[in-house]
Amino acid sequence: MNIVDVDLGARSYSIFVGSGLLADPDFLRQRVESNQVMIVSNETIAPLYLSLLENAFGDRKLAIAILRDGEEFKTFASLDAIITNLLEQRFDRSCTLIALGGGVVGDVTGFAAASYQRGVNFVQIPTTLLAQVDSSVGGKTAVNHSLGKNMIGAFHQPTSVVADISTLKSLPDRELRAGIAEIIKYGIIRDYEFFVWLEEHIESLLRLDEEPIAFAIERSCRDKADVVAKDELESGMRALLNFGHTFGHAIENVLGYGQWLHGEAVACGMCMAAELSNLMGMISDDDLERINALIARAGLPLKPPSDIDPNLLMDAMQVDKKNRDGRIRLVLMQAIGTCFVTQDYPNDSFELVLRGVEDNSNVRS
C-alpha cells in the first residue's frame, strides 16, 4: 500500500492506494471513528462491494443509501434522497458518510456531507479509475444543473480516500479508458516526465497490469495533492486541473449527461485545447501530434460528434466557473507539462476549433 498525503493543515488527510483494501475490515474501521455510518453507493457498485463495508461497520449504527447509476442522476433528487435518509435515521453531527462508487457517488455524497447539519465527515472509496485519480481527491463536491455541470456544490474535504485498485477489475473497458484520460491530463499540465512514461506504458494501463496502474494512480494523486495543497479553493493554479474540462463539460451538456462519459468528453476537450494552443503558436505540431496520438492509443475521442452544433457548445461554455466578466477562460498550453489560464486568445482560432468537428468512431456505445 502506498500513501499520499494531502497537506491542508487541520483538513489534511491521506490517500491510500493498494490492492485488497476493501477486504480488510480492520483497515476500514480505522478510517472511520463515528458510531453512526451511512454508506452511499449505486445500483451497479453496491452488489459488488457493499457487503465488505457492511462487514466492517456492522457493529455500528449503519444506514445504506443506493443511488441510480449514471451522470444523469447527479442531481438534487439524489442529494435529497441521502439527506432524507440521514434525517429518518436521526443521524447527528458526529456521523460519517462513506462514498462507495465512482465520481457521481463521490460528488453527491460529498455535497450531502458538506450540507447536512452544516458539515459532517465523509470518506471517499472510489471504485472507478477516474474517481481514484481525480474526483475523490481535493474536496470538490457538486450536483449538476440542466444549464451547467457542477454549478451547485461546495468545497468539503474527505477525512481519507481509499483507492483499492482491485475494484478496477470490474470496470467496463469504456470506463477504464475514461479514467486514463484524467491520468494523461496530469502529464500534459504539469508533469512532462510522467507524460513520457505514459507514452511508454499506455498499453500496460489498458491491460490493468498491477504495477503500472498502481504507479499511475499514485503519481496522479501526488500531482493533484500538490496542486490542491497550494490552492485549495481554486483561486489560482488549481484551475489548471480543469485543462480540457471547459470544452468537455460543454460537450457533456449539449449531448445530454450520460451520453458520453466524463473522461471521454475531457479527452476530446484536451485535444481541442491543445489544437487552440497550436493555432496560437504556443505548442509545436509535433507536441500536438504526441498528445493526439497518446489519447488515440487510449481509445478516446479526439473530436466531438460531427452532428453537434458548435453554437450550442459556445452557449454551454458561457456557463463555466472559471469565466470572468462574460469572457470564457480556458486552460491552454505553453508546452507539454506547462499550462496556464487565460481569457486572451483569438476569437477566430477559438471558433475554428469549435467548428472543426468530424465524425468519431472511438466512443463505444
* 364 within some domain: no
* 365 within some domain: no
* 240 within some domain: yes
Q: Which of 150, 242, 253, 278 is catalytic?
A: 242
Instruction: Give 72-116 pLDDT, tens digit per residue.
Output: 999 999 999 999 999 999 999 999 999 999 999 999 999 999 999
Residue type, 30: Q
Annotated catalytic residue 321: no
List b or e across 272-282, with b for residues whose CB sees 16 or more CB atoms inside 10 angstroms. Answer: bbbbbbbbbeb
pLDDT at residue 357 greater than cutoff 60: no
State whether 120 and 244 are in the same domain: no
State whether 195 and 161 are in the same domain: no
Annotated catalytic residue 329: no
Range 170-176 average pLDDT: 96
pTM: 0.93
pLDDT at residue 160 greater than cutoff 60: yes
- What's the alpha-carbon Rg for the chain, to the nearest Å? 20
pLDDT at residue 38 greater than cutoff 70: yes
Q: Where does the pLDDT of residue 359 fall: very low under 50, low under 70, confident under 90, or very high at 90 and above?
A: very low
Q: Which of 31, 140, 222, 329 is catalytic?
A: 140
State whether 128 and 242 are in the same domain: no
State whether 300 and 249 are in the same domain: yes
What is the domain-level CATH number for residue 198?
Answer: 1.20.1090.10
Instruction: Give 265-314 pLDDT, tens digit per residue.
Output: 999 999 999 999 999 999 999 999 999 999 999 999 999 998 899 999 99
Q: Where does the pLDDT of residue 323 fall: very low under 50, low under 70, confident under 90, or very high at 90 and above?
A: confident
State whether 260 and 343 are in the same domain: yes
* 38 within some domain: yes
* 250 within some domain: yes
* 182 within some domain: yes
Question: What pLDDT sits at residue 134?
Answer: 96
* 37 within some domain: yes
CA distance 102 to 164: 12
Annotated catalytic residue 156: no
CA distance 283 to 279: 8
Round the average pLDDT of the chain to a whole number and report it: 94
Question: What pLDDT sits at residue 235?
Answer: 85
State whether 299 and 344 are in the same domain: yes
Q: Which of 121, 150, 156, 182 is catalytic?
A: 182
Question: What pLDDT sits at residue 358?
Answer: 42
State whether 314 and 335 are in the same domain: yes
Annotated catalytic residue 31: no
Question: What pLDDT sits at residue 356?
Answer: 78
Question: What pLDDT sits at residue 319?
Answer: 81
pLDDT at residue 17 greater than cutoff 90: yes
Range 34-56 average pLDDT: 98
Annotated catalytic residue 210: no
State whether 250 and 309 are in the same domain: yes
Q: How far from chain centre, in Å, is Cα 352?
A: 28
CB 352 within 8 A of CB 208: no
* 361 within some domain: no
Expressed as residue numbers, the domain containing 332 is 173-355
Q: What does the longest C-alpha to C-alpha distance in the chain come to?
A: 63
Instruction: Give 199-228 pLDDT, tens digit per residue.
Output: 999 999 999 999 999 999 999 999 999 999
Question: What pLDDT sits at residue 147?
Answer: 86
What is the domain-level CATH number for residue 21?
Answer: 3.40.50.1970
Q: Look at residues 224, 324, 329 and name the one whose alpha carbon lies nearest to residue 276.
A: 329
Q: How much of the chain, in percent, has pLDDT values that exceed 70?
A: 97
Annotated catalytic residue 262: yes
State whether 192 and 284 are in the same domain: yes
Domain count, the chain: 2
State whether 177 and 324 are in the same domain: yes
Q: Which of 71, 175, 218, 234 is catalytic?
A: 234
Range 336-348 average pLDDT: 95
State whether 244 and 324 are in the same domain: yes
Domain end marker among 117, 147, 170: 170
